[in-house]
Chains A and B, each alone.
Chain A
Amino acid sequence: MHHIPDASTPSKQPPSWLSALLSLILPGAGQGYLGFYARGAGILVTILGLTVLILWRGNAALWAAVLGIWVWNVWDAWQMARGRRPRMAIPALLAILVIYSLAFITTEVQPRRMVTGWSSMAPYVRALFRPELFEYPTEDRVGSAPILVPCVEPLPEPSRKPTEHPRLILDKPCASVGDPLTIRGEGFFPNFQGELWWVSPIGDVQRVIVDHQPATFMTDDQGRFEITIIVPLAVPISEQPPPGQTQTHQIRAEQHKPYGNPQPTQTLRLIWEKIGETIALAFLATVLGAVLALPFSFLAARNLMYHNRVTRGVYYLVRTALNIVRSIETLMWAIIFAVWVGLGPFGGMLALMIHTIAALGKLYSEAIESIDPGPIEALRATGANELQVIVYAVVPQILPAFASFTLYRWDINVRMSTVIGLISDAGIGFLVIQWIRLNRFSAMATAILAIMFVVTALDYASSLIRKRLIEGVPPRPDRSPWVTWGIRGVVIGLLTVIFFWSWHVAEVDFTELVTGMPAGMRMAKAFAVPDLFDRPTEAHAIRQPLPVPCSVMTPPPPPSSGPRVVLEPACGQVGDPLTITGYDLPPHTQVSIRWEMPDGSFLRVKSNCCTTDDQGMVQVHTRISPLMEITPESPPGHVGYVGIHWEEIVGGPRLSKTVKTVADLALVTLLMALLATTFSSAIAMPLSFFAARNVMGESLPGRIIYNLFRLGFNLTRSVEPMILVLIMAAWVGAGPFAGVLALIFNNIPNLGKLFSETIEDIDPGPVEAIVATGANKLQTLVYAVIPQLVPPFLAFILYQWDINIRMSTVIGFVGGGGIGQQFRLWVGLNQYDKAGAAVWAIVIMVWSMDYLSARAREKLV
């Protein structure tokens, strides 16, 4: 490329070696000295930031990259002093290299595990093609025969009886493991397949394996079959009978002949019920959330609230509250509400609702802010009163936007509602996680397919309604008002019925909010005062020997002053009453009083004991523990003690360990989002061209590919990353890598859809112009298509990055690593002050990243 000399080079030319030297000592200093402060600061911040990152979790090899940037910085300072302005590509690449290497290290990305873990993943994938939808009721024929393993002399009678009809005939009454065994069957369904099972003496049932395949047989016209199997090792070696004895095993042949009409499976019936619950939760949360969001949206609308200082204060307050509530994911709210009102659909509904209020409150308020004052002015000019102005000029302006946002939220709530069950017991997610735990792959697959189907269908329905809202409904003057109102009545009636049904299904009971208040308040208090600081402490201990019995030794008297333990009596027998008193300890301090064994082990005398009084005294009454007894076998001098332990604060407050853990995990979470966004964008970009109508053209194969990709995107998009992570955890093991994979699998169709829509919206003008110059296809792509795609693609990638950060905060709930895992753990351990620190970290992280990416997006578009 040609070289553009920089016009802003300062006129005063210091010697070039000086700035290079300055930059050698402090990166960026030379550039700053030349007057390029921003460049110098950028270099310094980059090197410092990378240093911190590498110290945090890095690999020593990464220092080479930092060194490279340092060297480049010296060269850059030298070049700049000579009036040149080198490109930043090299240091940028090095910085990216470091960040991505760190991301790989911290999120434990090991593609190898995708191969080694495939065997545990395969059943999940296979199950997706074998959902449990319908089954025929079956007529069964089961024949069984006993067999003794191993053979002994004399052979006892088998402890189980054979069946008479159908009947199995074995070629020998006994066999050893590994022997061939020929089985003949009679009286089965003719010309029909069956399975062979081996039943161990304790009733364990397993399929008989022949040539590494589960054994099946096929009967002839008379309902007979013959098959030779190898006697399996049905009982573990350790449980084998002693020599000379034998055990009765059993061979079972089963035929299940379907008849009649297919019936939905039990699985499908369960799914049906839970899908209903899922939809009910989403519906109720959307309706209640929308209604409750209305008042907030007016309070958060700048154009309504900017008149005086008080209302402006309210505006900022409401805005901030909405933002905080919104940056905590629905699932995190679900955990919070599970503590407050207990597990169940109601808590899930509340979680969906509160997030809906915050999200819709913000969207509604933006709709109010973007209202056009023109029509209001025009109506005032006609002499309309305020109410008329609102009805005729304000409501028509905000209603379509409100309705459209509410529908959009309904879509999101349906998706969220499918995963609420992963942590609560409401909705379809509950079944998914239960079945995964029980290894019922095909049932799980059925549930996932049901989610795909329902979410995609509801998406489609709401996109139709949204289109109607945006385009408006054409008036039907030919239709009588009775019909119009009749249809409206039916719709309103239906919605009302759905509402009450949802209310019933969601087990709404607002009294639970009150009865659960103590638990909720305890958590709220801890969240408000998170565990941010602690003070270093020093452990202290004093002890006094307690000979049991007294004859062992004469205990020395306790010291007369200073912290001391006084035992009353000073020695005794096991079970004797004992008064332990501590003197001159620090007042109002928590102490722990212990029985101490000479080997260092100990047992608390009382749990949750005790606090010293004003004088620093503490006293407990107990009985001498059997632990303290000295038996004739004890080594000489083996005397137990009674000890008092406490901790004293030394030094000032410092950041607590929790903060360090949270910062660490927050960074892991960010890097998870970074990796997921990068990989999924790279994969989605080429795929998106196949889902773009204008690229694929109108030919038949083109249309088929287009529709396949569209459908694929829509179906896979409907499975939330929270569900995917369950499967990915089975594949590569629980942890951040599984989380990253789940995000990638969810992002590809999402980004693919957005990308392909961008490609479809491309301006054909420039393409035409470039073709007209005689450019070939590739040149046209590079000069007319890609420049149009880059900014919107980047904007979508940033948008996905925002979503991924939110998602990665909760993906750990079910094994995806990151901060969510720790949050759930802390809530589970009732350590709400620590959980609170995690919540605040998430709020800050989500907020700042939202802000940064919004700024970046503004610049792009």
Chain B
Amino acid sequence: MLIVENLTKVFPGGTVALKNVSFQVEDGEFLAVIGLSGSGKSTLLRCINRLIDPTEGRVIWHDQDITAAQGQELRHIRRQIGMIFQQFNLVKRSTVLTNVLAGRLGYAHPIWSLFHIFPKEDYERAYANLERVGIPEKAHVRADQLSGGQQQRVAIARALMQEPKLMLADEPVASLDPVLAHSILRYLETLNKEDGITVICSLHFLDLVHRYATRVIGLKDGELVFDGHPSELTPEKFKEVYGEEAEMVTVSGEMNRYESR
């Protein structure tokens, strides 16, 4: 179980990104985080694995206080938490295989890994994970040679190398077209259902939230304004999260057209 308690983040410039946010996530949930750009979604995800240090509050995961962890302890927590990003964050000039193996760094030998030397099992694991995301043939290609969807799959394979128990996904499909968006989210769904990995995923499109999430939280100006099942997300609630001007936009029309093929 992940417990987020009174999380507040104030950036050095004075911007308040999170205000006293509290919620809990049970193991095995697929939690969607919604909200406008700048509402604090990314900050929230990054506070969970301490890419950003929160100003106040605690994050407790499986009885470990992540916010208090330092050094090696923190790294050992991080390696159990996979993360994928909107911009994929691959090292573009490195090969796909190197990028995937990098997911193993938290486990690898601190010296040998500096010379790109990994145990044999890690290679096998890397090939297996590339197989799993459907691009085994791309192992020796440079990452910048891949399309956006393929790059995000490499990023998932990298996160899988960590054998994570929790997966953070920061708008993983915002840079992708609708078809690819679904295929990426289906991978996350499979991980969630088959491997029992908890997923916390920030999303933009409401139909994707309805389709994949088991629970939704909504952030507005850093404050938690919604917490419930996707079906509870009525137009009124939606306007509360996104503001009065907002209108629901879906990708379903296009999606159906592609899916009917």
What residues make up the interface of A, taking CB atoms closer than 8 Å to B? 1-2, 4, 698, 763, 765-766, 768-776, 778-779, 782-784, 787-788, 790-791
Q: How far is the CB of B91 from chain A (nearest CB, A)?
A: 5
A788 touches B93 (CB 8 A): yes
Among candidates A769, A771, A778, residue contacting B158 with C-beta atoms closer than 8 Å: A769
B76 touches A769 (CB 8 A): no
Chain B residues near A783 (CB, 8 Å)? Answer: 91, 94, 98, 102, 105
Q: How far is the CA of A763 from the CA of B92 in the complex (A)?
A: 10
Find residues 128-175 in chain B having any chain A CB closer than 8 Å to their own CB: 140, 155, 158-159, 161-162, 168
Q: How far is the CA of A791 from the CA of B91 in the complex (A)?
A: 12
Chain A residues near B168 (CB, 8 Å)? Answer: 772
Chain A: CB-nearest residue to B71: A776
Q: How far is the CA of A765 from the CA of B77 in the complex (A)?
A: 20
Cβ contacts A to B, 5 pairs, < 8 Å: A1-B117, A2-B123, A4-B140, A771-B78, A773-B78
Q: How far is the CB of A859 from chain B (nearest CB, A)?
A: 12
A773 touches B102 (CB 8 A): yes
Q: How far is the CA of A774 from the CA of B158 in the complex (A)?
A: 12
Q: How far is the CA of A771 from the CA of B85 in the complex (A)?
A: 13
Q: Quick one: given A769-B89, A787-B93, are A774 and B76 in contact (CB under 8 Å)? A: yes
A778 touches B110 (CB 8 A): yes
Chain A: CB-nearest residue to B88: A765
A774 touches B79 (CB 8 A): yes
Given contacts A769-B90, A772-B168, A774-B162, 7 further A-B contacts (CB under 8 A): A1-B116, A769-B155, A770-B91, A772-B49, A773-B102, A779-B114, A783-B98
Chain B: CB-nearest residue to A778: B114
Chain A residues near B123 (CB, 8 Å)? Answer: 2
Q: Quick one: given A2-B123, A779-B113, are A774 and B90 in contact (CB under 8 Å)? A: no
Q: How far is the CA of A774 from the CA of B74 in the complex (A)?
A: 8
Among candidates B92, B110, B117, residue contacting A779 with C-beta atoms closer than 8 Å: B110
Q: How far is the CB of A306 from chain B (nearest CB, A)?
A: 33
Q: How far is the CA of A765 from the CA of B84 in the complex (A)?
A: 10
Among candidates B79, B81, B91, B116, residue contacting A766 with C-beta atoms closer than 8 Å: B91
Q: How far is the CB of A858 from chain B (nearest CB, A)?
A: 15
A791 touches B103 (CB 8 A): no
B-side interface residues, number (CB < 8 Å): 42
Chain B residues near A774 (CB, 8 Å)? Answer: 75-80, 105-107, 162
Q: Which of A773, A775, A783, A787 has the most CB of B within 10 A?
A: A773
Q: How far is the CA of A217 from the CA of B109 in the complex (A)?
A: 69
B51 touches A765 (CB 8 A): no
Chain B residues near A788 (CB, 8 Å)? Answer: 91-93
Q: Which of A4, A698, A763, A768 has the most CB of B within 10 A?
A: A768
B102 touches A775 (CB 8 A): yes
Answer whether residue B6 sits at the interface, using C-beta atoms and an 8 A cutoff.
Answer: no
Chain A residues near B75 (CB, 8 Å)? Answer: 774-776
Answer whether residue B83 sits at the interface, using C-beta atoms and an 8 A cutoff.
Answer: yes
A770 touches B102 (CB 8 A): yes
Q: How far is the CA of A776 from the CA of B89 in the complex (A)?
A: 17
Answer whether residue B22 sits at the interface, using C-beta atoms and an 8 A cutoff.
Answer: no
Chain B residues near A784 (CB, 8 Å)? Answer: 91, 102
B103 touches A765 (CB 8 A): no
Chain B residues near A698 (CB, 8 Å)? Answer: 12
Q: How far is the CA of A791 from the CA of B114 in the complex (A)?
A: 19
Answer whether residue B87 sits at the interface, using C-beta atoms and an 8 A cutoff.
Answer: yes
A769 touches B114 (CB 8 A): no
A771 touches B51 (CB 8 A): yes
Q: How far is the CA of A783 from the CA of B85 in the complex (A)?
A: 17
A769 touches B83 (CB 8 A): yes
Q: How far is the CA of A782 from the CA of B114 in the complex (A)?
A: 6
Instruction: Rank and list the top 4 A-B pairs by shortest CB-CB distance, nearest first.
Output: A774-B106, A774-B79, A765-B89, A775-B105
Q: How far is the CA of A765 from the CA of B51 in the complex (A)?
A: 11
Chain B: CB-nearest residue to A770: B102
Q: Which of B80, B89, B92, B123 has the most CB of A within 10 A?
A: B89
Chain A residues near B104 (CB, 8 Å)? Answer: 773
Q: How far is the CB of B49 from chain A (nearest CB, A)?
A: 6
Chain B residues near A787 (CB, 8 Å)? Answer: 91, 93-94
Q: How far is the CB of A265 from chain B (nearest CB, A)?
A: 48
B89 touches A779 (CB 8 A): no
A773 touches B79 (CB 8 A): yes
Chain A residues near B81 (CB, 8 Å)? Answer: 772
Chain A residues near B51 (CB, 8 Å)? Answer: 768, 771-772
Chain B residues near A1 (CB, 8 Å)? Answer: 116-117
Chain B residues near A772 (CB, 8 Å)? Answer: 49, 51, 78, 81-83, 168
